[in-house]
Structure 1
């Protein structure tokens, strides 16, 4: 899939969050050739590594859970490039400790017991990055796009919002909130020429997957889940949603899980 066609010509200014790895990095690589390409990640070195070989790309250190930092980032893009055309928001976190508890329970042949042991700090971390961070990015983006009556935002959600895996309440809740938030904002801004859509991946070979205990990966395989998606496969869906070919899509949640389940 040609990156210029997906981005809607090389005159676009694009922001990718979570661009230092996984789906965000795959999206960024497919956007080589955009007029302006800003790769944001809380790991600046990782974002710089992805940006280095890409034309017109620059990296920025941003934790999306910090609203002031997100506003600073988008204000700088508007100042330097004169606007912002596309945002792909791929930044997010999981909870490796909860995954380990689930894996231990599966190997022991018992149901997981996570909620009672889940501390407030872990809850707030996952909700703060995944849900609050999405609000911060959406708010900053529409502040720039609505006055210009143009723009596309794609948010990376999760299939976990639908199947709500046992023992993963905070992650599932955060992604369900992301979907509802994006859809509500989509209805609000579509009259102003701005489209917001969601891609909801199933298990994907990212850094998060690398931290998934082997027991959980075996459980997924034995349940008929099939192979994990590649980041590039999910990136293609995200860039379709951002592109001109999806001009009639707004508020959609595209389930990209290889047919593991449907809704």
Structure 2
């Protein structure tokens, strides 16, 4: 008899952003599988096992989870943020699509979580209040020229843009490349928000604009928000400005 496979979003930080459904799934699971820092965030109860792995073995991790579920285990594959946003849900269904027919009969349930862009937007105010898109700057699985085309079209379409995976040790210059490209299509005073380590101890929000943003301030813990023509700042004395995108824009 096969078990159950949960694909669980842990949210961007601590348990305050963990949904009740996610808590229930984690409580039922026998095996907790995922990228090591995410697995470490899940407190273990008696009878549970942690299976941690590197960030670049998503398909192997998905196959392991599917095999365990097929063997009758209750498995939770965990992701930070929401599992369907640049995370493990797509990798797992990709493994199902290419795997044995038996995997298609498994009880697989996606448990949503608070995404990094939702958390960052909430801290800033409401920058995603009108049309927006999310683009990953990681070129591990897609060519950089594809990313460039998507950035260009998002800018020309006047979308607010949330940039995921903006910089890493292996890709330190891609965020600078992205800013340089966007300057070709957007005004220099376009709003840019750098939401760093949202919900964690070292949380920092930097409100700036496209012509003066410093790429050196961006790392993998940063969610970058690029404003649209309808994005506005509400100035406040002795407090950080609020940022929103008008619903009347466009």
**Alignment TM class, shorter chain as reference:** 0.3 to 0.5
Q: In proportion to residue count, which structure has more strand? A: 2
**Larger gyration radius, structure 1 or structure 2:** 2
Q: TM-score, normalised by structure 1?
A: 0.36
Give the alignment's TM-score, normalised by structure 2.
0.37
